[in-house]
Each structure stands twice: as C-alpha cells, then as structure tokens.
Chains A and B, each alone.
Chain A
Amino acid sequence: MSAALTRIVSSRLFWPVVMLIALVAINVIAFPGFLTITVKDGHLFGSVIDILRNGAPTLIIAVGMTLVIATRGIDLSVGAVAAISGAVACSILLSSPDPGNPGTVAVAVGAALVIALVLGVWNGFLVSVIGIQPIIATLILMTAGRGMAMLITEGQILTVDSAPFKALGSGFLLGLPVAVLIGVVIFAVAALITRRTALGMLIESVGINPEASRQAGVRARGLLFTVYTFCAFSAGIAGLILTANQTAADANNTGLFIELDAILAVVIGGTSLAGGRYSLAGTLVGALVIQTLVTTVYTVGIPPIVTMVFKAAVVTAVCLLQSPATNAAFGRLRHRLTARTSKGIAAS
C-alpha cells in the first residue's frame, strides 16, 4: 500500500492535480452549484464547461510550448502570433462580400494558419540555423508581431459578422463547445505524433544533452524547426478561437500575456524549463489550474484588480511543492513514517 502511495506522491502530476482539486473544492464551497452541468438546447452549460472553453486557447498554446520547452527553448511570440492570425482571418472576412459563407471562412482560417506556420518557420530558422538564444529569437517576433498585426488591421479593431467564424469561439458541436473540441484534437494529435513516433524521445534527448545527442547522430536542427513551427501553428489556432469569441480582431489585446499563461501551464505541469522530459498530461492539468484560478477569483469575490497577485501566490505554491528540496523533505518524512510503521521496511 505504501509503495503505491509513494509512487503516486512522487508522480510529477501529483501536486498539480492536488492543486486543481483544492481549487475546485474552494469553488464548490463558495458556490455550491459549481459542479452542476445542465443541458440547454442540447448544449452543455455550467461553470466547469466555461472553464474548459475559456481555457482552451491557453491549453492549445501550452501544448506547443511544452515541446519547445522540452528542447531547452522557449517561445515568447505566441501571443503576437495569435494576434496576427486573428487579424489575418478578420481582414480576409471583412474584405469579402459574403463573410457568412463557410467557404470564405475556410479560406480565412486557412490563410491565418499558413501565416502562423510561416512565423513558426521564422522562429525555427533564428533558433536552429542562426543559433540565436530562443528567448531573444522569439522576443523579436513578440515585439514585432503586434506591429505586424496592427499593419494588417490598419490600426482598427476589426469586427466581423460571420456566424461560421463565430462558431469557432462560442459554438457547440455534439453538445460540447467547439473550442474545447479543438483543444482536445490538438492535444491528442500532439500526444500521438510525439509518442507514437520517435519524435518525443528525440526531443527529450536533445533537451537533456544536446552534445551527446549530436554525437549519437540526432539532427537537432530539424527537431527545432518542427517544434517552433508546431508551437506557432497552435498559437495561430488559439488566436482564431480568441478572435472568434470576441468576433473582433484587436491587434493590441488578442492573446496579450497568453505566452506567460502557457509557460506557467507547462511549468505547473512538471516540465522543467531546463528542458528534457516533458509531460503533455501535466500541461493539460496546468492549463486547467490556471483557468480554474481565474474563475475562482470571481466566485470567491476577490477583486479582479488583484487577480495577478492571487495567481502568483498559487503558482509559487505549486512550484515550491514541486521543488527538489520539498520533494526531499517529503521523502525524508515518508521514510520516517514508513520506517516507524513497518519496522524499517522502507518503501523507497
């Protein structure tokens, strides 16, 4: 029993899951109907569904970010890429005579994603071919990207009236929000591609020890291109969802600070910023923790002005709980307890 307990407690997912459960518990106490899910017009409604829907863009970006971070990199440009993607889609829809036509929406979405891919290739080029540090390389696009989005929207907030486009953000399919379904698909695709092929193992290998990987014949360049392009692609999708939700492209505010939320989700999920082993499941939990946190701020009645402070406190707590020092302390405690109960048969 204690061996199983040890395995659970030492799992990387343990503390994030505990934190998520704690947050949900706080919400249930403050608002007993929190977990209630009702069906209206064949659609699911409820706080939990809201959290899933509002958290989808962060999750989608965080999935891409996880792979980038696993290679020892980071992508600060995802918020800007999201803004560009939304701006491209909206400007195409606006310039079309029939923005409500599904074909037009498909073209707009396709164009936005192609632009996102191009931006990802740019990041990959700077990092892998030119060899610029990832934080600097993506900082370039983080700052320049908002300006590019401004150019596309010509400084305006582009409001579009297109039912199919709007559905990306607030529509329902099979009773579930479309945004949630997109999130599930991206998550599943990333998990399948990296774990069913050797991509995940090679990414981890490069992240853990680049020189040993090079000597083993691993081509880091191609891997870096792949992860940065995928990350920008996921940012492009998130940007479309965010824009569709507001039915407007706002070059200044779409996806603002979402890179920080995505990085936080990855870190809370137990993937080290130093690169190496990553956990997409952890990132999923991390994204849920962050979104639940935002909701908690409202349900508990904390003034929205101090949301950031509250968020910081929770993140600090999770990081402390995951730190090696805390782990060691818990290990010692566990060891002492098991030694006492089972007369020295240590479970470690």
Chain B
Amino acid sequence: MTEPVVEMTDITITFPGVKALDSVSFRMFPGEVHSLMGENGAGKSTLIKALTGVYAIDGGTIRLGGETVSFSGPAHAQAAGISTVYQEVNLLPNLSVAENILLGREPRRFGSIDGRAMRRRAAELLDGLNLDIDPGSLLGSHSLAVQQLVAIARAINVNAKVLILDEPTSSLDADEVAELFRVIRSLRDSGVAILFVSHFLDQIYEITDRLTVLRNGQLVGEYLTEELLRIDLVHKMIGKEITALDEIGKRAHAATGAAVADEPGLPAFAATHDYGRKGAIEPFDLTIGEGEVVGLAGLLGSGRTELARILGGIDRADAGTLQIEGKPTRLRTPRQAISKRIAYSSENRRSEGIIDDLTVRDNIVLALQADRGWFRPIPKKRQEELTQSYIQALNIRPANPDALVRNLSGGNQQKVLLARWLAIAPRLLILDEPTRGIDIGAKAEIQKLVYTLAENGMSVVFISAELEEVLRLSHRVAVLRDRRLVADIENDGLTVDALLALIADGSVADEAPPPDAHPFGPAYDEPATESLTSPAGDLR
C-alpha cells in the first residue's frame, strides 16, 4: 500500500476542564474516501479543526506527505494542500462563479485582475470536474447544490492533496447527491484523499472506502467500510458494552412491563397521517396515546428533532394531517400548539429555550403569560406560588426566584425550562434531549419526573441519544433513520441490541410487531389529582 498522505499520531487537545481529544491517531491515504464517524461530542470536529489548523494541538504529531508539519492557522494548512468545504457554503453569492473559485488568487496582468484569464482558469477547473456551469454567471443564481460544487472547485484549485467535506449533503436532494458523488469519485480517482463527514449512513456506505470511529474524544478504531456491518458501526459509535446494555434493557422492561396492561382502549391524544416536511422529515404515521411515553431513537441527524419540531408546531408541516383527540388540527405556530396544550422543549436550551437575562420566575411563567396575553398579568402572588412550587418540586438550585437564569447550571436551567412547560399544564410534552449536558443527579430527577407525569396521564415524546434512557422511560419507541420513521414498536421486551439494529439498517423491523399492532399506550390508574401541573390549572 502507498504511504498515507495524512498521518496524525497521538493527537491530544485539551479545553479548559475537558479533554476533547485524547491521544487520537488518524490517517488518510491518497485516492480514498474516508469518513470520520461519531456521535455528538465524540471529537470529530475537533480532529478536523486540528487538521485544518484552526486549533493548535497540545500533544502528538501531524505528518503531511511524510513531513511533520505544524500549522499556524487555516491559511497555512490550506497552502500546504488541505482544503475544506464547510456545511454552510461560505462563498459570495453576489460575485461570479469564476470570481468565487479564484477569490484571493486572481490571475493578474499589469497589476490588475485579468478577467479573461480568470474565466478561462475557472472553466478549466469546472471542466476537470465535468461540471457544466458558466463561470461568468452569478453564484447566487445557482442552487445550493451547484454552489457546493463550486466550493469544491475552489477547494481543489489550490492543488489540494486532502479535501475535507463537512456534511456536504445535508441540504441536497437525491439527484444532487448523485452528482456530488460523481465529482467525489472522479477526484478520488485522481489521487485526492477525501474526508467525507455525514450523518447519513446510507451515503457513508455508498461512497466511503474507510472509516475512523471516535467516541468521547478517543479513537475506537479504523475500519474498511465494506468489512464493517452497519450494526457494528452503530455499536462502536454509541459504544456501550452490549452485555451492560442488555441488563439496563431488562430493567426498563421490568419497570414498564407492569404498566403495559392488555387494555388497548385508551384514546389517542395525537395521531398523524403522512405528516411531514420536505427536507426535514419524510411523511410519518405516529399515534401518541394519553399517558403514553413515546421514545424517539435514532442517530444525530436522523430526523428525530425534525419530527418533534413539527409535532410541537415549531416548524410547519407541509404534508399530511394531524388529529388532536380525534379532531383534525393544524399547527402553524408554537403559539397554536401551546393553546392545544402541546409543549415542545428544545434541545438547544440556550438558543431556543431559556431567556438567560430574565429571572427564574419570569422564565417559568413566560409561556403561561404569553398564552394569557400581556394585558392579563398573572397576579404577583400567583407567580410566586407557581415559582415556589416548581422550585421545590423540581429541586431547582439556587432556590431563588429572582436569580438570573444565566447564572444557573445547565441542569437547573433545564429544570426551569421544564417548569415553564409544566406550568401550561400540557397534555403532550415533547422533550428533545432534556438530559444532555447535565449532571447525573439532575438527569435522574428529570427521568423520574417524566415517569410521574406519564402516570398522571400526560403524553410524552422523549428524545435522547442515550438509548438506555429511551428504553427505561418509553412505552413505545419510534426509530428514525435518514429522516424517515422506520419502525414504531412496543417497548415490550425490547433490547438495546434490537434497537441498535433498527437504528443501523432497519432490517429487524420485519421481525418486530407491525407499527399498528398496539396503537395505544398502556393503561394507567386514574390520573392522580395531586399533579405537578395543578398550580397552573385554574389560571388558564
């Protein structure tokens, strides 16, 4: 085999308090398409940034074409032959295609830019990629896919030995992906090493030759794509020991098993039919029973958040129908969803959840107050009762209603956000990664809370990257892959193994009960009157 073009050895990068990369080694060969795989926080982007000179490394060596290099910055790395095309095309839509391709490297004549030579050079590069794009046309007049290809043409203009494509297909349709893959293959055949980063497993298996898997900042291993089964890949990415997982799975079953009675008579709270949104989530059928916890499982980018967002009215569905308690309903805004008592708690706690400069009290009453309208303020005394009851029930620390939420820890911010949604007394609570990035204690408290809420008759949609959490809490699990709902099964003896298989390729879906076999949730006792939502109930 030839020499590797990139050889990173024992790379360590430390951020304050965190080891982002711990002695990770990584290599790429000329003429191959390589993928870097891993879940959130695995260290993928850190490794890429080390390779492209964005981050300085704290330990290890980077060798490029056999020589040890030390990049002073992205420009240096690019000059050395490492080009990157980022997910968001960062080109200039108001300039021509040729100007974009040769930006900063324009051919000059008598000190001024030689427009004719520039167009000629750009045309050569585009021809080399077999692309039929007029170099003189405005970049902004082309589709995103074409702009992506122009970005690649720009990247290879600098005699790139290594081309990094970060999520290049996330906004492309099937035909555009095929066109991109054709270009990638022709570049590969010309000897360029390509790093292809994507969340789409199908695409990974279609285009890549080799995979490197990272997990929690550590190297799991390097594999030939054709020799690694999908199920094994997902195991390696998610990375729990199978035996340990089995045990948790059994426990989850024991916990929920008692509740799953043979009483399918409970009414559905929400039911969708062919409900979907182009480019976000393929049309899906999902029924959520009253008091049922439906877990959404899938890898990052599988469409689990997109599904939750249109269910919560954050994004509009552009196809299909939604029924709330049997009545056809359209959710155009979060406000409408809230008035139907559907709450969506975003996974992006900071940017879409809390209002960090307001107090704990204001944050908790916000949704309820918005629902009432500004001219009907919740009386100060009521606000105080509400806030105090949630601070106690959810154990929010510091227990100070006047503290600014920005000064709270992540777990406590999450609890404040939960309190905001509980205050509207939701019938359906959609929790998107409510336990991410928070400490163990808070995590356990939130899990307990979800369990109690469902027992009291609230429907819950629960999203988590941690499968054992999904299995522990959910009565039913809906599995997503590549923006599609691929399975919808009872959590009745469901093992993490089976779930992993479903996430990986859906092949086990046939063996699982068909989606509609148990459309309704398990039966519960009468909803307890002493509910967490009661303080707000009479305020509506």
Contacts and interface: CB of A to CB of B under 8 A. Distances in A.
B231 to A, nearest CB: 36
A19 to B, nearest CB: 24
B351 A211 contact: yes
A212 B375 contact: no
Interface in B372-406: 372, 374-378
Interface string B175-210: 000000000000000000000000000000000000
A163 interface: no
Contacts of A214: 333-334
Of A196, A201, A276, the most chain B CB neighbours within 10 A belong to A201
A212 B351 contact: yes
Contact of B374 (A198, A211, A215): A198
Given A212-B353, A215-B314, A198 B369 contact: yes
Interface string A186-224: 000000000011110110110011011111111100010
Interface string B350-363: 01111111100010
A215 B355 contact: no
A209 B346 CA distance: 14
Interface string A308-320: 0000000000000
Q: Specify which of A197, A215, A219, A277 lies most central, judged by the most chain B CB atoms within 10 Å of its CB.
A: A215
Interface in A213-237: 213-219, 223
A197 B352 contact: no
Interface string A167-201: 00000000000000000000000000000111101
B357 A204 contact: yes
A223 B374 contact: yes
Contacts of A217: 333-335, 338-339, 367, 370-371
Nearest to A202: B374
A144 to B, nearest CB: 28
A199 B374 contact: yes
Contacts of B335: 217-219
B214 to A, nearest CB: 31
A208 B358 contact: yes
Contacts of A199: 374-375
B281 interface: no
Contacts of B284: none
Interface in A289-307: none
By CB atoms of chain B within 10 A, which of A196, A202, A214, A216 has the most? A216
B432 to A, nearest CB: 11
Interface string B99-114: 0000000000000000
Contacts of B422: none
B377 A215 contact: no
A198 B539 CA distance: 15
B366 interface: yes
B304 interface: no
A166 to B, nearest CB: 37
A202 B358 contact: no
B358 A197 contact: no
Contacts of A216: 334, 338, 355, 366-367, 370, 420
B357 A276 contact: yes
Nearest to A218: B370
B275 interface: no
Contacts, number: 82
A199 B377 CA distance: 8
B224 to A, nearest CB: 43
A198 B377 contact: yes
Contacts of B351: 209, 211-212
A157 to B, nearest CB: 42
Contacts of B269: none
A11 to B, nearest CB: 15
B377 A218 contact: no
A202 B358 CA distance: 10
Contact of A205 (B334, B355, B376, B378): B355
A211 B314 CA distance: 10
B344 interface: yes
A67 to B, nearest CB: 12
Contacts of A209: 351-352, 354-356
Contacts of B362: 201, 204-205
A212 B370 contact: no
B314 A212 contact: no
Contact of B370 (A202, A208, A276, A277): A202
B352 A212 contact: yes
Given A198-B374, A217-B334, A218-B366, A211 B352 contact: yes
Nearest to B421: A216
Given A196-B377, A215-B314, A215-B334, A201 B369 contact: yes
B356 A219 contact: no
A213 B374 contact: no
Contacts of B333: 214, 217
Contacts of B339: 217
A221 to B, nearest CB: 11
A216 to B, nearest CB: 4
Given A198-B374, A215-B334, A277 B354 contact: no
B346 A215 contact: yes
Contacts of A205: 355, 358, 362, 366
Contacts of A208: 355-358
Interface string B312-328: 00100000000000000
B371 A215 contact: no
Contacts of A201: 358, 362, 366, 369
A212 B417 CA distance: 11
Nearest to B335: A217
A212 B338 CA distance: 14
B355 A213 contact: yes
Contact of A215 (B352, B369, B375, B378): B352
A212 B354 contact: yes
A206 to B, nearest CB: 9
Contacts of B357: 204, 208, 276-277
A253 B372 CA distance: 44
Interface string B17-56: 0000000000000000000000000000000000000000
A212 B193 CA distance: 42
Nearest to B344: A215
Interface in B491-522: none
Contacts of A276: 357
A124 to B, nearest CB: 15
B403 to A, nearest CB: 14
5 contacts: A202-B374, A204-B355, A204-B358, A205-B366, A217-B333
Given A197-B377, A198-B374, A215-B346, 11 more contacts: A197-B374, A201-B358, A202-B369, A204-B355, A205-B358, A211-B352, A215-B352, A217-B371, A218-B335, A218-B366, A277-B358
Interface of B: 314, 333-335, 338-339, 344, 346, 351-358, 362, 366-367, 369-372, 374-378, 420
Top 3 nearest A-B pairs by Cβ distance?
Answer: A217-B338, A217-B370, A217-B335
